[in-house]
Amino acid sequence: MSGAARGLATLAAGALFGFGLSYSTMIRPEVVLSFLRFEDFGLMLVMGGAVVVVALVYKLAPRLLARPLLDDHFHTHPSAWNRDTAVGAALFGVGWGLCGVCPGPAIAGLGAGNWDLLWALAGITLGALVQGLRAK
């Protein structure tokens, strides 16, 4: 597949993901925080549905397709838990709990005009830069 076709496929997948986040109201931090405070369980249905769909596709696609649409063969990624993964997961959870924002919904929220999410994205970017420098 050509570079332009890959770019279009990536753009389409990102647009679909952003639409889903927006439609489910996950781009609104107050909705996410009400879910995390156990006041509104609507996002549990959204996330649960997404996990089920991804798990099915992840398991069935290699069996049903000769090769993936955008590559020559399927790749699997080993899940290796180590200290860095645990610390990163803990920091992500704390950040999500404090401000109700994670990277995908923050970027999609900017597309909806929620400019306050720039502060969250600045923190996410700073954390990624610090981790990148620390890992060297």
63 lies in some domain: no
Q: What is the pTM of this model?
A: 0.74
Average pLDDT over the chain, rounded to an integer: 88
Other C-beta atoms within 10 Å of 106: how many?
A: 24
**For residue 79, pLDDT beyond 90:** no
13 lies in some domain: yes
116 lies in some domain: yes
Which of the four pLDDT bands, split at 50, 70 and 90, describes residue 1? low
Distance CA 97, CA 35 (A): 10
122 lies in some domain: yes
For residues 1 and 50, which has the higher predicted lDDT (pLDDT)? 50
For residues 121 and 84, which has the higher predicted lDDT (pLDDT)? 121
Amino acid at residue number 44: M
53 lies in some domain: no
Please compute the mean of the pLDDT values over residues 14-36 and round it to a whole number.
Answer: 91
Helical spans, DSSP H, in the chain: 3-23, 29-36, 42-64, 83-99, 103-111, 117-135
**Number of domains observed in the structure of the chain:** 1
